[in-house]
Structure 1
Amino acid sequence: MAAMDWMARLREARKTGVVQEGKRKIHCMFSDGAEMVEEYEVCSDQLQVRKWKQKTALGSPGQWVFEVGEARSGAVDTLEQQQIQESVSSPIFTRKDTKTCFQWRIRNLPYPKKVFSVTVDPGQRCCIVRTSNKKYFKRFTIPDMDRCQLPLDSSALSFTHANNTLIITYQKPSAILQLEQEVMEELKKLKMTEEGDVECKTQ
């Protein structure tokens, strides 16, 4: 769907919002039964979390899937905590954007930077991470780009490596920056329930 289609879908969604713990939390219910929750820093309007829940083939509610951010440690049950502890050294893939970039972090990758290769596959509309020592391989998409039907540009992609973490950055194109501004303007029209005081420090 193009950017205008996504904006139309967002406008038509049933939305509720609350300001809590310095975050603007928005819940969207779409006509197809999908749910989306976003959390923004109140002071900066920076997106912290975006997660989706889709109905299963049988019509029952599915599990929350994080597109941006990750589940808080207290938000998993005992069994999940045990599973996380058992695989504590496994690579952990998360997305945390900035105002101008999509950004992903892959923790627990102790190899030197020269081992890594990060490329764009325009045909498959995805980014690919691989290592020359064949220890790690991952393919991932950029849902924001897919929703707007924008082509992926290899020149927008870069990466660095520090503290056993691979940091991948993709510069947001102007169409995405404009869309995000329009989305924020739309969300700020929503009547919010306020919980506690929000204090923004002046820059």
Structure 2
Amino acid sequence: MAVETWLTVLKCSKKTALIHDGKRKVHYLFTDGKEMAEEYDVNTDELLVRKWRHKHTLGAHEQWQVEVGEPFTVGSLESEIKENNSNPLFMRKDTKTNFQWRIRNLPYPKDVFSVCVEPSERCVIVKTTNKKYYKKFIIADLDRNQLPLSCDALSFTHVNNTLIISYKKPKEILTLELELLKELKKMKGSSEGDVDCKTQ
């Protein structure tokens, strides 16, 4: 089963954990050299950040790519370069039961927006009838676990110039997240430094 496969990949990766500023920070190093870093709220267990880094063919590291959380974290080079404040800003911020994306700076009424699943391309498409905005994005968690996309799981709302798109997490994902959280809580994350997780 695909979900077990991804969970196995996570369990077999080399993990280090650190608890700092009310966050559980976990770093994964996979056998193919990819790295993933996650941050969870210690009190709510909510995933705050997930980012990925790949190696170039020559061995140098690429920039971190943010999957969940603010697009550029403070202190990164990119944060020095400010985008135009009126440009739409796309980010993912999940809840316990939903994958959720926010697109800020979209000052159009809700009925202008169309949000739908495109199963053949395995993506979500956002567009406006006034042709002012168009966006395609994948749901990486569903791809990693080879799960189908469902139109019924998708909903959206529009408040304060922000389009909020929600996709109800399938039960396989909820189960996987619970399993992973159990694994992470077994790790002896300290406040002083990184601690290796011994995987079975």
Does the alignment reach a TM-score above 0.5?
A: yes
Decide whether aligned partners of structure 1 residues 176 and 51 sit closer, same or farther in structure 2, where only a CA change above 3 A counts.
same
- Do structure 1's residue 38 and structure 2's residue 38 form an aligned pair? yes
SS of corresponding position for 1:133: coil
Secondary structure of residue in 2 paired with 1:11: helix
Aligned partner of 1:194 in structure 2 is 191
Which position in structure 1 is the counterpart of 2:144? 147
- 1:109 and 2:102 correspond: no
Tell whether the 8 Å contact from 2:25 to 2:40 is kept in structure 1 after alignment: yes
- 2:69 alignment partner in structure 1: 69
- Looking at structure 1, the residues matched to 148 and 129 of structure 2 have their Cα atoms a distance apart, in angstroms, of 27
Q: What is the aligned partner in structure 1 of residue 160 from structure 2?
A: 163
**Is contact 2:66–2:72 with CA below 8 Å preserved after alignment?**
no
Unaligned runs of 5+ in 1: 196-203
TM-superposition CA deviations, 1:131-177 (whole Å, max 9, x none): 00000000000111111100000010000001110000000011110
Read off the aligned partner of 1:127 and give its amino acid letter: V
Cα separation, partners in 2 of 1:37 and 1:82, compared to 1, 3 Å = closer
Quick one: distance in 2 between partners of 1:93 and 1:103? 11
Equivalences, count: 192
Q: AA paired with 1:134?
A: K
Instruction: After TM superposition, give the deviation of residue 71 of structure 1 in Å.
Output: 4.8
Q: Distance in 2 between matches of 1:194 and 1:70?
A: 24
Q: Give 1:57 shift.
A: 3.2
* 1:200 alignment counterpart: none
1:201 corresponds in structure 2 to none
In structure 2, list runs of 5 or more residues that go unmatched: 193-200
Residue deviations 1:157-201 (CA, integer Å, cap 9, x gap): 000001110000000011110010001011112121125xxxxxx
Give the deviation of 1:75 after TM superposition: 1.8
- Residue type of the alignment partner of 1:192: G
Q: How does 1:20-39 map to 2 (within 5 A)?
A: 20-39=20-39
Which residue, out of 117, 120, 125, partners 1:123? 120
Counterpart code for 1:110: P
Matched residue type, 2:106: L
How far does residue 81 in structure 1 lie from its aligned partner after superposition? 4.3
Q: TM-score under structure 2 normalisation?
A: 0.92
Q: What SS does the corresponding residue of 1:152 show, helix, strand or coil?
A: coil
Instruction: Say if 1:16 and 1:81 are closer, same or farther in 2 by CA, change over 3 A.
Output: closer
User: Residue 90 and residue 37 in structure 1: after superposition, are their counterparts in 2 closer, same or farther (change >3 A)?
Assistant: same
1:70 partner letter: E
1:136–1:72 distance in 2 versus 1, CA, 3 Å: closer
CA distance in 1, matches of 2:106, 2:59: 38
